[in-house]
A and B are shown apart, each in its own frame.
Chain A
């Protein structure tokens, strides 16, 4: 019962802030709503027992990426709001209809799933000992060592690329 209340409260906040992010006129407000959205998603991760990912979410998303966004919003001069002029070639309604079609598709899949529920999945082995962080770290440094190193290379390349792109002249 308590879990249900927590889930529905967090879900309402997550969806509400997500709607605010895409609907606010002011870009800075949009970034701030995005922070709140990330924080509530992190709370949802705690509810799911993924404490390590929740901390990473707060550190990387709410801490790092959002600061990056704020810097860009501040650097980019938005005196002339991008939404001000109307472009006849742009069909805003088309986006809504396409999204509605995908949403209907998802609902149909959900109804189909309820009508013929999948066989319950057998719990995988026994839950290994150790805390959540310990398990994730163990996997990252054993089975997923190569993807982990590739991810670090990706971040290095992205860092160099961002510097090259944003630098005025090389």
Chain B
């Protein structure tokens, strides 16, 4: 029997993989992909609870999350392109212009 707890554990594991990706990798494109993994983990939680409670509101919110993720990807990749044009790198260690 698959309970919502199973889905939450799967979601937490996917979330942690995304967090490890954000923290460990230096390629900013892969960091953005890890953020997409994190958003997917959130969506799995929302859909699992939606199915458990027989209420489609969770699915509506999942659609909003997907819309925000699309906006985030568009703007973020635009920033990556603009940055790459100036500095010829996608390494976040070299993105330190605004560091103190």
Contacts and interface: CB of A to CB of B under 8 A. Distances in A.
A108 to B, nearest CB: 12
A15 B41 CA distance: 11
Contacts of B81: 72, 75-76, 165-166
B44 to A, nearest CB: 7
Contact of A155 (B2, B59, B70): B70
A158 B14 contact: no
A64 B30 contact: no
Contact of A18 (B7, B14, B28, B84): B14
Given A21-B37, A38-B40, A76-B29, A144 B60 contact: yes
Contacts of A73: 29
B24 A7 contact: no
A114 to B, nearest CB: 8
B74 A21 contact: no
A69 B29 contact: yes
A164 to B, nearest CB: 8
Q: Chain A: interface secondary structure?
A: helix
Contact of A82 (B34, B75, B89): B89
B20 A96 contact: yes
Given A50-B50, A121-B52, A154 B29 contact: no
Contact of A123 (B6, B54, B62): B54
B16 A50 contact: no
Contact of B90 (A3, A44, A78, A162): A78
A82 B14 contact: no
Contacts of A114: 5
Contacts of B13: 15
Contact of A15 (B10, B20, B51, B55): B10
Interface in B50-78: 50-57, 59-60, 62-64, 66-75, 77-78
Contacts of B90: 76, 78, 82
Given A7-B6, A154-B67, A22 B77 contact: no
A69 B33 contact: yes
A140 B19 CA distance: 31
Given A82-B90, A162-B77, A136 B29 contact: no
Given A82-B28, A90-B26, A102-B16, 13 more contacts: A3-B2, A18-B17, A22-B30, A41-B44, A45-B47, A50-B59, A53-B63, A56-B63, A57-B66, A124-B54, A139-B56, A161-B74, A165-B81
